[in-house]
Amino acid sequence: MPNSPSPSGRTDAVALTDRTDDRPVYVIGGGPGGLATAAALRARGVRAVVLEKADRIGASWRGHYDRLHLHTTRRWSALPGLRMPRKFGRWVGRDDLVRYLEKYTEHHELEVVTGVEVTRIDPHPDGSGDWQLTATGGRVLRGRAVVVATGFNHTPRIPEWPGRDTFTGELLHAAEYRNPAPYADRDVLVVGIGNTGAEIAADLAEGGAARVRIAVRTAPHIVRRSTAGWPAQATGILVRRLPVRLVDRAGSLLARVAVPDLSAQGLPRPEKGLYSRVREGAIPVQDVGLIDAVRNGRVLPVATVASFDKDAVVLADGTRVTPDAVIAATGYSRALEPLLGHLDVLDGRGRPVVHGARTPKQSPGLYFTGFTNPISGMLRELARDAEKIAKRVARAH
């Protein structure tokens, strides 16, 4: 019998190397995608071992900023086999999501090993079709299948702006931001207007920053998180299989009704359609305060960053600003190359060429989940992928 994990999802790592002879399915990553897949596998009688490099499950969620709430509804954010409590509200907060993941691990009696980082995945050298995992502590593990669930937002990325190292102010990635308290009465530039950047800018404006600018490279589509009780996620689910041109046209009409024109404030409506942008990987910004903050002048959109020059930030239009702090909401890299770049299963941007129940032709038994950013909601699609992967693995073995 596997060791029972604690509520934090921790199992004795020392025992791991003593229990690999039955060739379990290894799930790499103890976030929602990994846990959901392990639970779905377990429900089908397949032993799954989750390997998490941090000391607790849900590590990336624990590190998000304080005011974070899901942009997807509680109902469509639950993982297979356990509903989220109604007391969490419609838009689940960060701490409640972490509590849910802990309860999920306990409820499904998942076998989770923390403090173990997988550094390389290879086909097993005996040609059996199994997989060999190289992990910290000199561990070499053997599994009949591997599910990579290390996450869409894995490694914070800050562009190599010219002069970045000369900047005398504070420069940090959005992953390090927690709340506006340290920035009260300070001048802050947020770089990037995705969902994270938009929410941090609004948080700073509401939290007492003296001035908040947001650097915009490409004007985003902004949608209301909910309109007359109808969540934007529901629309995303309904339209995702419709023709792109049709959704673009409908999105434009809806935006003109629901979202004010902010062109005069420096944030024009995008030229390219909403769904066309989604297909390129740009998810719409769900408004949780940015619209009002921009309209009221509490957040000022500016041109994107071109370079740094000691105490100044030079913008693409030549403007020089001197913020006290720069928060780079500039995204993350998947950081999969060291793990499996040698297997020819990544595209030019370092993302898996397949996901869900599909496996690369040259690497059967290798699955990926959580490396897309769907308009229908990340957690919803993770849950669906988990069931599909488990079904495929159970049938194959």
Contacts of 283 (CB under 8 A, 6+ apart): 194, 195, 373, 375
pLDDT value of residue 364: 95
* Percent of the chain clearing pLDDT 90 (strictly above): 80
Indicate whether 185 pLDDT > 80.
yes
Segment 367-387 mean pLDDT: 93
pTM of model > 0.85: yes
According to the model, what pLDDT value does residue 239 have?
86
Query: Helix (H, G, I), strand (E, B), or coil: what is residue 48?
Result: strand
Residue 297's identity, in one-letter code, is: G
Checking if the pLDDT of 14 tops 80, the result is no
**pLDDT per position as a tens digit, 245-273:** 999 999 899 889 889 999 999 999 999 99
pLDDT of residue 113: 97
Q: What residues contact residue 60 under an 8 Å CB cut-off, 6+ apart?
A: 31, 151, 153, 154
Instruction: Tell me how far apart the 2 most distant CA atoms of the chain are, in Å.
Output: 66
Structure tokens at 334: 């998947």
Predicted confidence (pLDDT) at residue 3 exceeds the cutoff of 60: no
